[in-house]
Structure 1
Amino acid sequence: MKDTLIAGLSHETEITVTQEMLVPNVSAELGAFADMPPVFATAMMVGFIEATCIECLRGHLGDGQHTVGIHIDVSHLAATPKDMKVRAAVELEKIDGKKLTFRVEAFDEAGLIGQGSHQRAVIDVERFVQKVSEKAAR
C-alpha cells in the first residue's frame, strides 16, 4: 500500500441503468428473478458500489496488489427504472491493517436509493490466485 492510501479518500461514478441491470436479467441461472419487476437489481447496485470503491483505490495500492470485497452492509431504499442515471459515492473511512472500510451511498435522478458500508481487503494478487488454484485442485 502506498502512503497516499489514507482515510478520507473519496470517489463518485455514474452509470445509466440498462436492460441487463434489471432484476429479471440478473442471471438465467437464478430463475426466481424471472418474474420480478423490471427495476435496477440490488445485486447490480452492490456491484456498482464495489466497482466505485475499487476505482477510488486506483493509484494507492502497491505493485501486485488489489482488493477483494469481504463485507457489505447496504440498504436498497428505492427502485430505479431502466434508462435512469445512478451515481455511487464512496468514502474510505477507516484503514485497519489491510482491511479498508468505506461509507457508501447510491443515488438515482430522484434521490437516495442505497446506503451503508463496505469492507475490502488488500491482497497480493499472485499469492491470492495461487491459493485459489490450490483450492480448486483439491
Structure 2
Amino acid sequence: MTELIKHYHVTEEQSAKSVGSGSLLVLATPSAIAMVENTCMLISEELTRESETSVGTAINFNHLKASLIGAEIKVIAQLVEENGRKLEFTFEVFDQDKLIANGSHTRYIVEIEKFLSHIE
C-alpha cells in the first residue's frame, strides 16, 4: 500500500465564502476535496509514464468538522487498490490532530493525447 502525507495551509481563497459553497470564512468542502485530489494525484504520478496522467472520476467525501482560515491541514492518502488503469484511494484529513474529513477517491490513468482528443 502506497501512502502520502501532504500539508496545506488554509487561505481565504479556499473559504466557503470565496468559492461560493457557503457564507462563512471556513475551509470550503470543494477546497478540501481539491487538497485530497492533489495528494492522490501525486501518488498516481509514480505510476504513470510521461505520456500519461491520472484523472479523478469519483469521490466519497465526509466533511466532519469545520476549519478556520490559517489552519494547517494534513491529508493522509493511501492507494489501496490498483486494478489496471483504475486506482482506488482512501483518505483522512486532519486539522492538527482533529479528524475533519475522510472518504475514498477513484482515479484512472489515461493517455493524455487520447483523453484530450475526446474533449475537442
Calculate the TM-score normalised by the size of structure 1. Answer: 0.83
Contact 2:61 2:101 survives alignment (8 Å): yes
5+ unaligned residues in a row in structure 2: which ranges?
none
Q: Does 1:85 align with 2:78?
A: no
Quick one: distance in 2 between partners of 1:18 and 1:110? 19
- Name the count of aligned residue pairs: 120
Q: Does 1:20 align with 2:7?
A: no
Superposed CA offset, 1:21-69 (max 9, x none):
100101xxx5x73xx1210000000010000001112232122110111
Query: Sequence identity of aligned pairs in percent?
Result: 27
- Paired residues for 1:22-41 under 5 Å: 22-26=15-19, 30=20, 33=22, 36-41=23-28
5+ unaligned residues in a row in structure 1: which ranges?
1-7, 134-138
Decide which of 26, 39, 48 is 2:35's aligned counterpart.
48
- Please identify runs of 4+ aligned residues in structure 1 that moved more than 4 A: none
Question: Which residue of structure 1 aligns with residue 47 of structure 2?
Answer: 60
Superposed CA offset, 1:78-98 (max 9, x none):
000000100111000011221
AA aligned opposite 1:90: A
Contact 2:81 2:87 survives alignment (8 Å): yes
Q: Which has the larger radius of gyration?
A: 1
